[in-house]
Structure 1
Amino acid sequence: MQSLSNRFVYNANPSRVVFGTGTIESLPSEVERLDLKRVLVLSTPQQVELAEALSSRLGDKAAGIFSGATMHTPVAVTEEAMKVAAETGADGILAAGGGSTTGLGKALALRTGLPQIIIPTTYSGSEMTPILGETADGVKKTVTTPKVLPNVVIYDVDLTMSLPASLSGTSGINAIAHAVEALYARDKNPIIDLMASESIAALAGALPAISLDPGNTDARRKALYGAWLAGVCLGAVGMSLHHKLCHTLGGTYDLPHAETHTIVLPHALAYNASAIPDVIDRLRGVLGSENPALALYDLAGAVGARRALKDIGMPEDGISEACSIALSNPYWNPRPLEGEPLERLLQRAWAGSPPVME
């Protein structure tokens, strides 16, 4: 057993989770339990078929479908969905899909107070957090409030089976990023340490297996379990440099969310390594590597993910701007943020070079 701190605080967010295979069958009973009569179903344009299937499952309790969810939760899209919710008389929200749809559901819940059910189909983990990130005028801002917590999360392994292996890899490493930063959060605690370690181990083991065999049900189950735990970690403690950089890059340059996290994570961990020797020791055991930052970089390679920001749309001349934005309103971080080392970090991430612990 790990040694316990003399004193710590653990904030547990209220949630109801239904986890397993075929759990989507419980949707009508969960709607009934919440006493909902008119449920608005949310999705991205790419997952409208899933939205239609869920709407059919709801029967006369389906208020309609809004399939305009998109990454980084633009306020303009939320406003469109608000109009649909009002026009259809919705008294509840069902968000099905990845982080984009979850974000839209949270944004609607924040503004309307409507109860929400979330059915994740990726490994983002955001469904378990009281955090909402919204984008307006090219700037992504986050708010933390229990108002955006879902009433129910239904994890159905079956709904992740069709997630392409490439997307599974980046979505899963995005979840790992939540758990890694939870290990060195300012408000870390032994309970979250256990969840984070379990999450990282589950995902790091499952993702390469999914890459080799996307139909591996056991690997899919482990990945979804790991993502759930990562989401709990993200929702319970504060995040640091990694998340600040990803929010800056995503909001400013409209980069894909999960891929940005996948690329930045090894470099952010390497930047902080000298300030968190205990966490590095723990990650060595969890990842089975003397260099955890390099292990995460290699994991991205093993799942076929792109490892360079330049390959996902980041302009090289934006590196200095991104540093300035990140430094202007920084999150707490175990190592003080310094301009030149931060620029070197982003330069390596832009080029796709291996992480370097300075």
Structure 2
Amino acid sequence: MSLRFEHETLPQRVRFGAGEAAAALAEEVERLGGRRVMVLAGRPEAEVAARVTAGLPVVHHHDEVVMHVPVPVAERARAAAAEHDADVLVSVGGGSTTGLAKAVALTTGLPVVAVPTTYAGSEATNVWGLTDDGAKTTGVDPRVLPRAVVYDASLLVSLPVDLAVASGLNAMAHCVDSMWAPRTDPIDAALATEGIRALAAGLPRIVEDPTGVAGHEQSLYGAYLAAVAFSSAGSGLHHKICHVLGGRYDLPHAPTHAVVLPHVLALNGPAAPEAERRIAEAFGSDTALDGLQALRSRLDAPRALRDHGLPEDDLDDAAAAVLPAVPPSNPAPVTIDTLRHLLRQAWEGADPR
């Protein structure tokens, strides 16, 4: 069978090197002609941000970072950028920080240089997200794609192990969803397959040696591949579910993805045999779900939505909210009962096998 597809590669510079964040960041800001830099970093990342941006012409440090980027928070960051006449945005942190920088770029057109400190992957996509009154809205816009990303695995060695695991499994979800998302193509599948392999190799090393750079390097590499695949392939069922759960019930982003992932894989895997085969091979297992569950067991991964703030009484409401967002191209049929069952299993922390 001949191949026929369309694939768009996003224009972005990537700098990857442990211990090189400050020098690489300075070079990327200079390349953009930055003279008035606004640094966005939450308080937990303040020390790291100060260290890697010490040589930059910083005019403002902005530390109001909130999960899921509420609209009022975004508006205050935009006002700060205007007040300080910033010409470059530097984000130092996880997905919420990158998301805030994207929210500013969306309305100002200012270039972003991202320095990730988790495996969120937002830095490699042109997808933005904002939350308002319990509803999360996402969109695609070339203005929000960071012009450059500076990956430095040494910045992640202080990441708590449980957060590293949840964030890494969020990246794994980018890979798995990219196998059957609405715009997926063979290049996305190849990137996602290598991303799964790298994350499956790197994350257990982080658990075994949290302060070692090697596991973080492999995981950061895998997370980047995951994000590039996801950015091209688009949001599949998994991400539609998690966006509703995060925006509607203010659930923590990475643990929610980590919990929901095996349940979506259990649903879609049998209906997408080629994708299932690729995922299983990347894990080195007989089946995709067995490989994922074996990894989750080694990592002591988050298991149940009830552990992360979702009330049982909201399960039916969540299923009804997800149903209109289900991609028509999802490989397995999805009804309201399908979603109720999936969310119930995820809420209880049941083994989807």
Bin the TM-score by the shorter chain.
over 0.9
TM-score normalised to the size of structure 1? 0.95
Residue in structure 2 matched with residue 171 of structure 1 by the alignment: 167
Aligned pair partner of 1:51 in 46, 49, 52: 49
CA shift for structure 1 position 341: 1.9
Gaps of 5+ in 1: none
Aligned pair partner of 1:339 in 336, 340, 343: 336
1:199 is aligned to 2:192: no
CA offsets, 1:171-195, max 9 Å, x none? 1110011111111223222211111
In 2, distance between residues paired with 1:5 and 1:66? 51
In 2, distance between residues paired with 1:215 and 1:51? 19
1:219 is aligned to 2:215: yes
TM-score normalised to the size of structure 2? 0.96
In 2, distance between residues paired with 1:329 and 1:230? 22
One-letter amino acid matched to 1:170: A
- Does structure 1 retain, via aligned residues, the 8 Å contact 2:175–2:229? yes
Tell me the SS of whatever aligns to 2:307: helix
Aligned pair partner of 2:234 in 234, 238, 241: 238
CA shift for structure 1 position 5: 4.4
In 2, distance between residues paired with 1:44 and 1:303? 27
1:125 is aligned to 2:85: no
Deviates more, 1:180-189 or 1:244-253: 180-189
Residue in structure 1 matched with residue 86 of structure 2 by the alignment: 90
Tell me the SS of whatever aligns to 1:314: coil
Residue in structure 2 matched with residue 27 of structure 1 by the alignment: 25
CA shift for structure 1 position 355: 1.1
In 1, distance between residues paired with 2:71 and 2:208? 38
In 1, distance between residues paired with 2:81 and 2:149? 21
The count of residues paired between Structure 1 and Structure 2 equals 351
- Does structure 1 retain, via aligned residues, the 8 Å contact 2:205–2:214? no
Once superposed, what is the RMSD of the aligned Cα atoms?
A: 1.4
1:105 is aligned to 2:101: yes
In 2, distance between residues paired with 1:251 and 1:5? 41
One-letter amino acid matched to 2:347: W
Gaps of 5+ in 2: none
1:10 is aligned to 2:22: no
CA offsets, 1:251-288, max 9 Å, x none? 11100000000000000111112310111111121112
Tell me the SS of whatever aligns to 1:57: coil
User: How high is the sequence identity, in percent, across the aligned residues?
Assistant: 45
Alignment of 1:195-344 (within 5 A): 195-332=191-328, 333-344=330-341
Residue in structure 2 matched with residue 42 of structure 1 by the alignment: 40
In 1, distance between residues paired with 2:266 and 2:27? 47
In 2, distance between residues paired with 1:134 and 1:20? 31
CA shift for structure 1 position 242: 0.4
